[in-house]
Amino acid sequence: MGPASGQPSAILKDQLRNWLEHERARYSKAAIANGIPEHIEDLVVVAEDTSGNGHSFKTQPRNVSIYSTFRGPSLLDAHVTPVFDDTAKALAERIYGTYDGACECNYPPLSPGAAKFAPEPVRWVEEVLLRHSRDMYLSQLESLGKPNEQIATSVADELLDFLGRDTLDLVTALPLQGIEVSAQKRTEGAITIRKPTGEELGMFMAEVMPPPIRPPRNQLAFWRGFSMPAAVLEIREPYPKGQQQPHSRMLQRVLLALQLLGFELGGAWPYTIWTEPGPTFGRGGGLVQLGKQGSSKPGAPSDLQSAAALAEKISSDVFHSPSKQMSVALHRFYLGCAETPADALIDFCVALEGLLLQQKDAELAFRFRLLGAFYLSPDDGDQRRELSNQLKEIYNARSTLVHGGTPSSSQELLDLSRRARGLAARALLKALDEGWPSPSALTDAVYK
């Protein structure tokens, strides 16, 4: 795919950079002629020290291109006519002549009358690929009146990288509490856990993104009402360039894997998604439900390796209309990790019941603790007795709650909820590793 040698790419790279500068000059001229400022001054909060949990912050001014503001593009486009001239059309023809069908991707249409690739490929390259590349360049400048060769080169490189690929990377990033990262970042396959940058922490310290600024595609979204994130979970998933941009298939599976491994993840932030390389059609994202309280612990390299392997074993139907027994049990555990202690205790017990009480016979409480103790500790009698007592305690508390009662104190309820979570996680991890046990296998373990 792409040009046969490096020379056409080098020539196109120069042509792209020249065209981006041509567009900057046109927009700068239009701004000056119509009394529109070429930049605005913004105050940015930045964390100076991100090495630990305590951060010091400073406020510093910066200039940003008027094109990066929400109203900037519409203000300027009205005065730059035509929006695309013969220079853009000639460049689009060269790009299509070099890369042919590799130019096409499934970007959403920019307007009802926008070009479609099949009947009008050159116009499509002009209106989609070049327009998005121009937007990337103009938005990253300090001012429309100040060219930046480094940024122009980066935008041109990204577009050429895009053209030479069959797949794009969907990047999903979610700020988190509950997991501490000692190194700047750790990566295992498609999964990265990293520290938030000083700019990200500063933006969160300011509580809200500066209203006039349109955030770049890979800038995380932060919301008010929650304390500072300790880490950012980042997932990179390839998908065919011809497909419509999907949502992450791995995010919830990785979160559940980390929760099963004992991380009490929390946060009230949306995840952010974008595509790489090349021009991306805006930013997207959404919310996942996580806990609002919990402890934090360090994340070792082995934890990330275990989470990556575990996520592969978790079916995607766990999070959407689960029907299989294992999926239902994992679904209830996942819900419990985001609930208040009372609701969490019930969910964790339901997850255990789904595994241990697959046959709804009599003596449920007795069988719950008997089968659970032998399943979790088939060879250690002393440990079985301790597990039996713990299972009895959480089952009795669950029964009290569902019948309208309450434990003696909120601390007792929190302790019982955490104990139930630990037992449920242990049982579900074993089931994921060894396979879902049949009712006869659970009973045979008692009488073997």
pLDDT value at 377 more than 50: yes
Tens of pLDDT along 261-292?
A: 999 999 878 888 888 888 775 567 788 888 87
Confidence band, pLDDT 50/70/90 cuts, at residue 163: very high
- Residue 428 φ/ψ, nearest 5 degrees: -70, -35
What pLDDT was estimated at residue 49?
63
Tens of pLDDT along 212-233?
A: 333 444 454 444 444 678 899 9
d(CA 305, CA 293): 25
On whether the CB atoms of residues 278 and 161 are closer than 8 A, the answer is yes
Burial zone of 108 (CB within 10 Å; 0-12 exposed, 13-18 middle, 19+ buried): exposed
For residue 389, the surrounding DSSP H or E stretch is helix 381-402
The residue that leads in pLDDT, 101 or 7, is 101
The alpha helices in 118-216, defined as continuous H runs, are 121-124, 131-140, 149-163, 198-205
Domain borders along the chain are 6-42+56-163, 167-288+300-311, 315-447
d(CA 72, CA 143): 12
* Buried residues in 39-63 as b, exposed as e (16+ CB within 10 A): bbeeebbbbeebeeeebeeeeeeee
Determine if the pTM surpasses 0.85: yes
What pLDDT was estimated at residue 241?
86
pLDDT value at 128 more than 60: yes
The pair of three-digit structure tokens given for residue 346, joined into one six-digit string:
């019930």
pLDDT value at 448 more than 80: no
pLDDT value at 5 more than 50: no
The pair of three-digit structure tokens given for residue 37, joined into one six-digit string:
């400022």
d(CA 334, CA 260): 9
What pLDDT was estimated at residue 20?
96
Preceding amide of 82 cis, omega within 30: yes
On whether the CB atoms of residues 274 and 313 are closer than 8 A, the answer is no
| For the chain, percent of residues with pLDDT exceeding 90 | 50
